[in-house]
Amino acid sequence: MSTVLFDTPGPKARMRHRIYAVLGILVVAALIAFVIYRFIDSGQFSGRKWEWLQYSQVQSDLATAVLATVKAFALGAVLAIVFGAVFAAGRLSDHAWVRGFCTFIVEFFRAIPLLILMFLFYYGLPTLGVDTSPLFAVVLGLTLYNGSVLAEVFRAGIQSLPKGQSEAAYALGMRKTQVMFTVLLPQALRAMLPTIISQLVVLLKDTALGFLVTYPELLYYARYIGSQGDFGRPIVPSTIVAAAIYIAMCLLLTALATYLERRNRRSKKHIDTGAKDAADLTAAATGGLRGGPF
């Protein structure tokens, strides 16, 4: 099997690869063993540091925290997609003032760190008289920020569609808005699905910033448990558990994405937007947008 860059390995190369594989596994195993040994040495795996997991109150609070994370994520994801669609359409509008306004909004929210945005809403809005709960601040921040990134993704998606689609729609007599929202955006969504999903993974991880505005999500709870002297201040164990949960959630989200993409490819509504290279490049151009990863 020859890939782009390398020729099929011959027998000597295969032998070498096998040796590398064995060596590699040994090295990795040694590293992991070293880390675990040192952790045990400093008492991180002692029962005391892990007993917090046994308490039913802790377990139910942990579940509540995970649910809070998912809730913020769900709200943020839906609103961000809507925001992104609207502002992508705005940026492609025929009216200059709409274009300019939307461009300004998108560029503005992509340039500010999400941390600062959440702070601004949580601490700043009350001074203007608007009552903000932590959830509101978190979801608003996530929506504006990720929505702006998604607006760029949608725009790239729309521009990558074959011109024939919009031309046909206009030929049928549809108005600009109709064309945008019934023909172009749904296809753009499907075409850019991988990038959109990776941005949603970023959104999920960004909910972790909510702990700074006291939104009781997973990281907030992990920090809280880590600070409990009763449990021996299990900072490292709580971090490990939190990391495992986040990785599991993100992987599940990505798996969902891959499944949807596979279903998408078999669906009749899918349009092959040209060579894989072009899609890859568009994905690369927008996948790491100015605000891409958290």
Total of chain residues touching another protein, rule CB under 8 A: 110
Of 48, 45, 68, 58, residue with least CA distance to 224: 58
Is residue 42 at the binding interface for another protein, with CB under 8 A as the rule?
yes
Is residue 261 within 8 Å of residue 196, measured between CB atoms? no
Determine how many CB atoms are found less than 10 A away from the CB of residue 2: 8
Is residue 214 at the binding interface for another protein, with CB under 8 A as the rule?
yes
User: What element of type H or E holds 274?
Assistant: none
Pick 90 or 134: Cβ nearer another protein? 134
Q: Which stretch binds another protein (CB under 8 A): 77-85, 97-105, 116-124, 179-187?
A: 116-124
Is residue 115 at the binding interface for another protein, with CB under 8 A as the rule?
yes
CA-CA distance, 71 to 139, in Å (whole number)?
9
Is residue 193 at the binding interface for another protein, with CB under 8 A as the rule?
no
Pick 84 or 237: Cβ nearer another protein? 237
Report which residue type is found at 176.
K
CA angle 197, 198, 200 (to 5 degrees): 60
The correct pick among 54, 94, 96, 171 for binding another protein (CB under 8 A) is 54
Is residue 186 at the binding interface for another protein, with CB under 8 A as the rule?
no
Q: Which stretch binds another protein (CB under 8 A): 89-97, 98-106, 184-192, 226-234?
A: 226-234
Residue corresponding to tokens 């590699």: 24
Q: Which stretch binds another protein (CB under 8 A): 70-78, 81-89, 176-184, 242-250?
A: 242-250
Determine how many CB atoms are found less than 10 A away from the CB of residue 61: 15
Report which residue type is found at 291.
G
Residue corresponding to tokens 């709960």: 133
Is residue 274 at the binding interface for another protein, with CB under 8 A as the rule?
no
CA-CA distance, 139 to 79, in Å (whole number)?
9
Q: Which stretch binds another protein (CB under 8 A): 37-45, 168-176, 182-190, 264-272?
A: 37-45
Q: How far is the CB of 37 from another protein (least distance, A)?
A: 9
- Tokens, residue 204: 């999920």
The correct pick among 86, 233, 261, 264 for binding another protein (CB under 8 A) is 233
